[in-house]
Amino acid sequence: MKYKIGTVAKLLGVSPETLRLYERSGILTSERKDGENGYRYYSRLDITALMRARAYHQYGFSIKETESLINTDDLDFVLGEYRSRSHALEQEIFLKQQILRFLNQVSDILERLPAELWTIRRETSPAIFRLEFMKGDELILRPDQMDRFPQWVSLAPFVFPSQRNSWKALLEGRDESFSALGIFKEDAEILGLLDPERFPSSPLSCGTLSAPTESLCTVVDFSGENASCVRYMAHLERYVREHHLTVTGDPICRTFLSMNKKENYRRFRQIWLPVADSPAAQGHILPGAPS
């Protein structure tokens, strides 16, 4: 018994063009009546082959790989392909799990946002690998960093905008900023980016590591293309001055949300400002947006 292409397509929930694609790829073999311009007809075995092809598609095999698996008579070859695909699926599932973990972490930050926005607390900053690529609007990448930059970008969503602002310039009323890509060391370790066997030439090697440091931490909300850190870090500057703290490095930022790009481009940013130990500042919370 032979079945028309339209019947088979409807039966299996695919388009006639999909059947033609499988035929061109060698997965199906149709029979035509009335010459080349006649209807394509498929047999029962073609239908079962197509069902197997759909299963291979769900496994993640390509059309070419599917054709090889369906037309081979080598059992060892099939087993080898299955094992290889199984390993690839394990890696894909692992990555999806880490993406889910990261997304949940950002969601948690958004849930806490009303309580944490513009407040200041003491905490140890996270270790962050950073690759600075712009000073102001000027690109500052070395040739080797330029080559590695796409690899950093490909680490999304784990990689994020990580600006550094000159504290000295801020105290002088200037915004001297260094744009960077950043990734938490914890995430880099989970992804195996620090494993020399998996990544003998890790993209992180052309960046720098901002080590964990006793810091003032705050979350800010600002808008506009040319928003100045002098304003959105004013509460930090005031806190340092009022509590007689010593700033030991430039503030490092993480932009965890950008929105409303068409209008005022609103951004939400975590900031860690390294400071010397000061018991007077422990546990203190300073509410209120900058003036």
pLDDT in tens, the chain (291 residues): 787 888 888 988 888 888 888 888 888 887 776 555 567 788 888 889 889 999 999 999 999 999 999 999 999 999 999 999 999 999 999 999 999 999 999 999 999 999 999 999 999 999 999 999 999 999 999 999 999 999 999 999 999 999 999 999 999 999 999 999 999 999 999 999 999 988 888 999 999 999 999 999 999 999 987 789 999 999 999 999 999 999 999 999 999 999 998 888 999 999 999 999 655 544 455 445 554
CB 43: neighbour CB atoms within 10 A?
A: 16
Residue 80 and residue 127 share a domain: no
Any domain includes 158: yes
**Confidence (pTM):** 0.83
In a domain, 51, yes or no: yes
Same domain for 123 and 210, yes or no, is yes
Q: Tell me if 286 is assigned to some domain.
A: no
CB 122 within 8 A of CB 216: yes
Q: Establish how many alpha carbons lie within 13 A of residue 53's alpha carbon, considering only the half-sphere containing its beta carbon.
A: 25
Count other Cβ atoms within 10 Å, centred on residue 192. Answer: 13
Q: How confident is the model at residue 263, as a pLDDT?
A: 87
Q: Which amino acid is at 213?
A: T
Considering the domain boundaries, does residue 291 fall inside one? Answer: no
- Quick one: 128 and 158 in the same domain? yes
79 in the same domain as 40: no
Judge if 271 and 259 occupy the same domain. yes
Judge whether 33 lies within some domain.
Answer: yes
Is 287 part of any domain? no
Q: How many domains does the chain have?
A: 3
Whether 288 maps to a domain, the answer reads no
CA 75 to chain centre: 39
Is residue 232 within 8 A of residue 220, CB to CB? The reply is yes
Same structural domain, 22 and 164: no
Asked if residue 47 belongs to a domain, the reply is yes
d(CA 173, CA 16): 67
Q: Order the strands of the 40-42 sheet from edge to edge.
A: 3-4, 40-42, 31-32
41/81 same-domain check? no
192 φ, ψ (degrees, to nearest 5)? 80, 15
The CATH code of the domain that includes 61 is: 1.10.1660.10
Task: Kindly state whether residues 165 and 270 are assigned to the same domain.
Answer: yes
pLDDT at 225: 76
201 & 258 share domain? yes
Those residues with Cβ within 8 angstroms of residue 147's Cβ, 6 or more apart along the chain or in another chain: none
- What is the CATH classification number for the domain harbouring 222? 3.20.80
Domain co-membership, 45 together with 129: no
> Distance between CA atoms of 220 and 118, rounded to whole angstroms?
6
Phi, psi of 184 (to 5 degrees): -65, 140
In this structure, are 61 and 127 located in the same domain? Answer: no
Judge if 166 and 104 occupy the same domain.
no
Is residue 109 classed exposed, middle or buried when 0-12, 13-18 and 19+ CB atoms within 10 A define those classes?
A: middle
* Domain's final residue, options 109, 134, 157: 109
Q: What is the predicted pLDDT for the residue at 71? A: 94
β-strand 164-165 against 138-139: which pairing, if any? unpaired
Residue 264 structural domain = 117-281
Can you give the pLDDT at residue 283?
A: 47
CB contact burial 13-23 (16+ within 10 A = b; e otherwise): ebeeeebeebb
